[in-house]
Amino acid sequence: MTTVLPDATTGSPPEEPAPEAGGQQPASGAGSPRRNGSRLATLVPPLGVLAVVLGIWNAFSYVLLEEDQRFLMPPPHKVVQVGILDTENLTEILRGLWQTTQVALVGLAISIVLGTLLAVAMSQARWVERSIYPYAVVLQTIPIIALVPLIGFWFDFNFRSRVIVCVTISLFPIITNTLFGLKSADRQLHDLFTLHGASRSTRLRKLLLPAALPAIFTGFRISAGLSVIGAIVGDFFFRQGDPGIGRLLDVYRNRLESEELFTAIFFSSLLGLVVFWGFGFLAHRLLRSWHDSAGGDH
């Protein structure tokens, strides 16, 4: 089951995967031996950590907790059994996850469009920046959680207000990162465009926006993670409409259904991770030909 191919091309010793990590090996036959070797090298350390975490988790559940307290930290296999292998529970969680995903994606899309437009407007005129920026900061510093019930009162407890919470939380990083990027264009390049009579819109399209792309994508990535948090927070507080994963977290907590709770937490994290990674991948594909930040693998 463990397929270790000696690396003849470089003469370096083959990677020895931990024997206990068996069954988690990548499908053999994909790529050359050399590529397989390097894939193993990147997979083994995190898998090792996973094994250690699962071990500690089990120790917690069985050694530290009495049977009647075990719901506080159900062992991993029980979580899988109840949360994932039970079709009814899994369906409920995945349905909630899909609901939350929709809120997060719509919210993120609105944040991206709105944030980028605001940042472009701010980069084009000092007075716009001075007028808007303080409020963008306020948006970031006020405790949004305190505002969530209010947003519910004003806009009803439906999809729309969940999206509004989501936008409120994820807008700021897009504004600041895009604005920073637009201002980062080289001074001599600005001079070059001035010398050759470039119009405002030409300068924006051919110099400022491309130069800002790496920073813009940094903002997208941060906001992608935040949009998931925003969608869950909004959902957590709103007791009407189709329940998302935030609603389910609250229900499971009240019912002390810890296996379901653990599963829901796991899927929430996975959603955030997938959105974050998706934008990382997109940035890598778009920028790798010219920008150092996109040089590595994500």
Partner 1 sequence: MATTSAPTDTSLRFDHVSMVFPDGTHAVDDVTFSLGPGELVSVVGPSGCGKSTLLRIASGLATASGGQVEVDTGDVGYVFQDATLLPWRNVQANVELLAELHGVPKDERRRLAAEAIELVWLQGFERQMPRRLSGGMKMRVSLARSLTLKPGVFLFDEPFGALDEITREKLNDELLRLFDSQRFAGLFVTHSVSEAVFLSTRVLVMSPRPGRILADVPVPFPYPRAPELRFTPEFAALAGEVSAALRGSR
Chain residues in the site for partner 1 (CB under 8 A): 186, 188-189, 191-198, 202, 206-207, 210, 213, 289-292
The helix or strand, by DSSP H or E, that contains position 61, with its residue range, turns out to be none
Residue 94 or 198: the one with the smaller Cβ distance to partner 1 is 198
Closest contact distance (angstroms) between CB of 286 and partner 1 is 10
Interhelix angle for 87-124 vs 126-141, to 10°?
A: 150
For partner 1, the closer CB: 126 or 196: 196
Q: What's the sign of the alpha-carbon dihedral 162, 164, 167, 169?
A: negative
> CB-wise, 211 or 275, nearer to partner 1?
211
CB of 180 to partner 1, least distance (A): 17
Residue 163 near residue 106, CB atoms below 8 Å: yes
Beta carbon of residue 189, minimum distance to partner 1 (angstroms, whole number): 5
Min dist CB 120 to partner 1, Å, is: 18
DSSP E strands, 87-185:
none
Is the Cβ of residue 217 or residue 262 nearer to partner 1 in the bound state? 217
**Rounded CA gap, 241 and 235, in Å?**
9
Read off the tokens for 204: 């924006």
Report whether 185 contacts 154 (CB < 8 A).
Answer: no
With respect to partner 1, which residue has the nearer C-beta, 143 or 187?
187
Question: Considering the complex, what minimum distance in angstroms separates the CB of residue 215 from partner 1?
Answer: 13
Q: CA-CA distance, 227 to 166, in Å (whole number)?
A: 5
Cα distance between residue 206 and residue 191, in whole Å = 14
Smallest distance, partner 1 to C-beta of residue 191, A: 6
Burial of 24 (0-12, 13-18, 19+ CB in 10 A): middle
In the bound state with partner 1, the residue whose beta carbon lies nearer, of 185 and 275, is: 185
